[in-house]
Amino acid sequence: MTTTCVKRAFKYRFHPTDAQAAELSRTFGCVRKVYNLALAARTQAWVRGERVNYSQTSAMLTVWKKTEELAYLSEVSSVPLQQTLRHLQVAFTNFFGKRAQYPRFKSRKKSRRSAEYTTSAFRFRDGRLTLAKMQEPLAVVWSRPLPEGASPSTVTVSQDSAGRWFVSMLCDDSGVEPLPTTDTAVGIDVGLDHLLTLSTGEKIANPRHERRDRARLALAQRRLAKKAKGGGANRTKARHKVAKIHARIADRRRDHLHKLTTRLVRENQTLVIEDLTVRNMVKNHALARAISDAAWAEFRSMLEYKAQWYGRDIVAVDRFFPSSRLCSNCGTLARSMPLHVRTWTCDCGTIHDRDVNAAKNLLAAGLAVSACGAGVRPQRRTPGGQPAVKQETPRREP
């Protein structure tokens, strides 16, 4: 079986020394400063009707380093500063391509603390990683090995809001083997009562990771709110405690989704999902918290890249396809389906579980897409005038 070469990022925890932590903190600050300066320069040029590209901002960086006010930029490695200018160029390219909004300035308190190093700014030998401007290698916790013979092309160092340090190493992994082809296909209906409902009838429970730690999180947030603003040590400790709880929730959610998507990709050749716009759905304040905790967008992202790695097919059915109200047995379309109805009986006598029926209809529609190459036509309005948009349980999160 042939193997494919894919770009994979391997992320590890590491524990810097005090000197390394200070150096990285200075680098993060300089990266943020250069990004904001370049963004301001490009914005001012945009107002004047001019265009500034990466090469021009790179020349500006050289000038900034020679000024007395910004001379400290020369104290850190120049590679992360150049990389942040490249990232800004990508942001503007996406903006002009109408794929993203206009780039925003980085905040010291809210923006991600990270720096990217290319091969000229780090040394990786015998499992020891040493960054530029550092004498000692990083104390990396090698929780899993890198691919055999792989050498990182870029290294990204970051610190999350909980104070944890991470290093992400981008490598070429040539050992990814497509899975054996099977004839199995599954329709996947996402929800809130159950995280996933499969066309096979299986229902996967929603772990509700955020709800499990909600009391602890609320207590930590109340204690943080009582601390005086102004950067005191007590407020910093309280903020870190809140961040640690959020990190714990996110880690558990990500781990569960990884296990779930890996299982689905291994067991099925074709996976049919619904093309939901989660960004718009979270505008419903009654369900936004539950939808965010379910992480439907992250689930889809994991499913898509794993399917691409292992030779599986992903089919996305139009979000306006009335999967819940269409009888999977006879094809009759129900005129209305109130949100509280979880089971219903079709005129043909078939009793449907709402979610299982939706998953079966998604599977049938997805197989039709695969067979003829045509998309599922949107049905925005039913004969009774009701919108055909997929609806979830209206229950409010306490």
- DSSP state, 15? -
Taking the C-alpha atoms of residue 313 and residue 317, their distance in angstroms, rounded to an integer, is 13
Judged on CB neighbours under 10 Å (0-12, 13-18, 19+), 225 is: exposed
User: Nearest-CA neighbor of 365 among 293, 331, 311, 317?
Assistant: 317
Taking the C-alpha atoms of residue 132 and residue 27, their distance in angstroms, rounded to an integer, is 11
Q: Residue 274 catalytic?
A: yes
Residues forming a β-bridge with 317: 274
Taking the C-alpha atoms of residue 214 and residue 152, their distance in angstroms, rounded to an integer, is 39
Element (H, E) at 166: strand 165-176
| Catalytic residue of the set 23, 293, 355, 392 | 355
Taking the C-alpha atoms of residue 43 and residue 161, their distance in angstroms, rounded to an integer, is 29
| Catalytic residue of the set 23, 116, 210, 274 | 274
- DSSP state, 94? H
| Catalytic residue of the set 189, 210, 293, 392 | 189
**The token pair that represents 151 in the structure block:** 């050498």
Radius of gyration of the chain from its Cα atoms, rounded to whole angstroms: 25
**The token pair that represents 300 in the structure block:** 């889809």
Residue 269, classed as helix, strand or coil, is coil
Asked if 191 contacts 392 with a C-beta cutoff of 8 angstroms, the reply is yes
Taking the C-alpha atoms of residue 152 and residue 172, their distance in angstroms, rounded to an integer, is 8
User: Nearest-CA neighbor of 133 among 15, 16, 17, 19?
Assistant: 19
Residue 154, classed as helix, strand or coil, is strand
Taking the C-alpha atoms of residue 125 and residue 166, their distance in angstroms, rounded to an integer, is 19
Q: Residue 353 catalytic?
A: no
Q: What are phi and psi of 284, to 5 degrees?
A: -75, 105
**The token pair that represents 203 in the structure block:** 């229902």
Asked if 267 contacts 303 with a C-beta cutoff of 8 angstroms, the reply is no
Q: Which residues participate in catalysis according to the annotation?
A: 189, 274, 355
